[in-house]
Amino acid sequence: MNILLAYPQYPDTFWSFRSVLKYLGKKAAFPPLGLLTVGAMLPKGWSVRLVDVNVTPLSDEDIEWADMVFISAMIVQKISAAEIAARCQALGKTVVAGGPLFNTMDGKFDNVDHFVLDEAEITLPLFLADLEQGNAKHIYRSKERPDVKTTPIPAWHLLDMKKYATMSVQYSRGCPFNCEFCDIVIMNGRIPRTKSPDQILAEMEALHDAGWRGGVFIVDDNFIGNTAEVKRMLPRLIDWQHGKRHPFTFLTEASTNLADDEELMKLMSAANFHKVFLGIETPEVDSLKECGKHQNASRDLSEAVRVIQSHGLQVMGGFIVGFDNDTESTFDAQVRFIQQVGIVTAMVGMLNALPQTRLWHRLRNEKRLLETANLSGENTDSCVNFEPRMGRSALIEGYRSLVSRLYSRRMYYERINTFLKNYKPTAKSRVTWPQIRALVRSTWRIGLLSPASPYYWRLMLKTLFTNFRALPVAVEMMICGEHFHRMRGRLRRSCRQALRAGGLEPPRTESL
């Protein structure tokens, strides 16, 4: 049996970092970890190939080689996923689909023969057994939560690592919190399930043996969801890193209660974690309570960010506007908070109701869902799939103004300076050729050709003389700033178009 694993294309979004990748000489930010893991679960005698459309075009020859094509995707990849499924069907191939996109939207894809949904450790063996008997069903689902200690090491041999900026590893699934807008609980449950220390070290060893050196994204829903298990694993990871001379630097996702645990922050720092993404959402306490984000509503968020940053962990933040308790003053409050605490990478998006979440059910019961809205899966665009309390025109215009200010070059560089003021990097890393290439290209593209040139050279010189160890971080942030500024322009245009297309009041003029 010949199996083609096909990974659809990401559009150019906030998190695609497409323009940043050009500085590094890379094609994509992250590999398709889900498909690589599925590849390791397939029968040993089968021939398996991977085509990630983000790095390599999918040819008809690739499809014709295969007996079956497996597609996995997130909502943001739905257009490309549909195109791939249609091409495969037209060429007479059996299409098998799974992953977050299809878990809640399987009814929208007529070109898929078999849906293997929920968690593959349970549903994939059921499909394979029926396939062997010649009676494979159309849909496979299971509410059972598998023990991730049974999950195999991803099939790294299928991947050309040189085309990626960062590798990905999963340590746990699930999150103990139940935020109204989040679909993690639907997909992975509220009880975090972790891999064993031996298992995660075996995955690190496999990555190392495959030749990878550099950044590793631990893609967990909430890395610290099971604190006791994390604290049992991290000392082993610290020893492994030390024995290998720190080949990896880690970034991950966590919750703000990380700031309460001094021991955990020190362990993460010692293990070579240097970035953590926090779902901060909003400084508006009433909005946090509304969406069930009680772990944020009960603390001083500015202090939490400061404490985490003081341990050498750069905080990246997710923010949302459009809650029922938000007002038109919320947009200014978001800007003030982000600027004051120095969260350089601040992903601010408009609230959307993801299918089957608690928010989706509530809005449907309140008859506020907009059935005609085309949910993009990209919350940093102009899509609003419900009727917000403040009105769509106020939300879209407020968001446009917020993004315009937040990612103006002046305010972006102000945040970098605020962050670097007290930042003392603790991560141990090796200088790599892509980093050198990025530095050289940035001096030309930003230092000489970009309107950001004055900001670039002021920050470069200041960092050289006052915080030299932070120079790689400063250069990375300046390069990312060009991507964010470009996305700012796209988002502003998208918001204007959404207002006009919806027959809503035209945007106000503003001076930036």
Kindly give, in sequence order, each residue whose CB lies less than 8 Å from that of residue 424, ignoring residues fewer than 6 positions away. 310, 312, 469, 470
Residues 412 and 339: their CA atoms lie apart, in Å, by: 8
SS3 of residue 434 by DSSP: helix
Identify residue 149 by its one-letter amino acid code: K
**133 within some domain:** yes
pLDDT on residue 511 = 33
**476 within some domain:** no
Strand-pairing partners, residue 318, are: 279, 347
Residue 440: how many CA atoms within 13 Å on its side-chain side?
A: 8
pLDDT on residue 291 = 97
**Helices and strands per DSSP (H, E), number in the chain:** 20, 14
**98 within some domain:** yes
> To 10 degrees, what angle do helices 409-421 and 392-406 make?
60
State the burial class of residue 327 (Cβ atoms within 10 Å of its Cβ: 0-12, 13-18, 19+).
middle
- Asked if 318 and 277 count as a contact pair (C-beta separation under 8 A), the reply is yes
Q: Which helix (H) or strand (E) element contains residue 169?
A: strand 167-169
Kindly give, in sequence order, each residue whose CB lies less than 8 Å from that of residue 129, ignoring residues fewer than 6 positions away. none
Which of 278, 322, 315, 491 minimizes the C-alpha distance to 403?
Answer: 491
Which of 1, 141, 160, 148 minimizes the C-alpha distance to 69?
Answer: 1
- Asked if 337 and 283 count as a contact pair (C-beta separation under 8 A), the reply is yes
- Asked if 312 and 306 count as a contact pair (C-beta separation under 8 A), the reply is no
- Asked if 92 and 63 count as a contact pair (C-beta separation under 8 A), the reply is no
Tens digit of each residue's pLDDT, the chain (512 residues):
999 999 999 998 877 888 899 999 999 999 999 999 999 999 999 999 999 999 999 999 999 999 999 999 999 999 999 999 999 999 999 999 999 999 988 888 999 999 999 999 999 999 999 999 999 999 999 999 999 999 999 999 999 999 999 999 999 999 999 999 999 999 999 999 999 999 999 999 999 999 999 999 999 999 999 999 999 999 999 999 999 999 999 999 999 999 999 999 999 999 999 999 999 999 999 999 999 999 999 999 999 999 999 999 999 999 999 999 999 999 999 999 999 999 999 999 999 999 999 999 999 999 999 976 566 666 566 688 999 999 999 999 999 999 999 999 999 999 999 999 989 899 888 788 888 999 999 999 999 999 999 999 999 999 999 999 999 999 999 999 999 999 998 888 888 888 887 666 544 433 33
- Asked if 321 and 396 count as a contact pair (C-beta separation under 8 A), the reply is no
Residues 124 and 140: their CA atoms lie apart, in Å, by: 8
Which of 467, 279, 494, 463 minimizes the C-alpha distance to 397?
Answer: 494
Residues 351 and 276: their CA atoms lie apart, in Å, by: 22
Would the CA dihedral through 67, 73, 79, 80 be positive or negative? Answer: negative
pLDDT on residue 464 = 95
Task: Map 191-208 to HEC letters.
Answer: CCEECCHHHHHHHHHHHH
State how many domains the chain has: 1
Which of 337, 295, 340, 298 minimizes the C-alpha distance to 319?
Answer: 337
**49 within some domain:** yes
Q: Which helix (H) or strand (E) element contains residue 2?
A: strand 2-7
Distances (CA, A) of 473 to 425, 439, 458, 459: 9, 11, 15, 11
Residues 226 and 218: their CA atoms lie apart, in Å, by: 14
Q: What is the CATH number of the domain that holds 10?
A: 3.40.50.280
Identify residue 81 by its one-letter amino acid code: A
pLDDT on residue 512 = 32
- Asked if 216 and 166 count as a contact pair (C-beta separation under 8 A), the reply is yes
* 468 secondary structure, DSSP code: G
Residues 204 and 169: their CA atoms lie apart, in Å, by: 8
Positions of E strands within 270-395: 273-281, 314-321, 346-350
**383 within some domain:** no
Residues 271 and 254: their CA atoms lie apart, in Å, by: 16
Residue 181 sits at the vertex; the CA angle it makes with 187 and 407, to the nearest 5 degrees, is 115
**450 within some domain:** no
Domain membership of residue 115 as a residue range: 2-140
Kindly state the greatest CA–CA separation across the chain: 69
**25 within some domain:** yes
**381 within some domain:** no
The dihedral region occupied by 174, where left means phi > 0, alpha psi between -120 and 50, and beta the remainder, is left
Residues 124 and 127: their CA atoms lie apart, in Å, by: 5
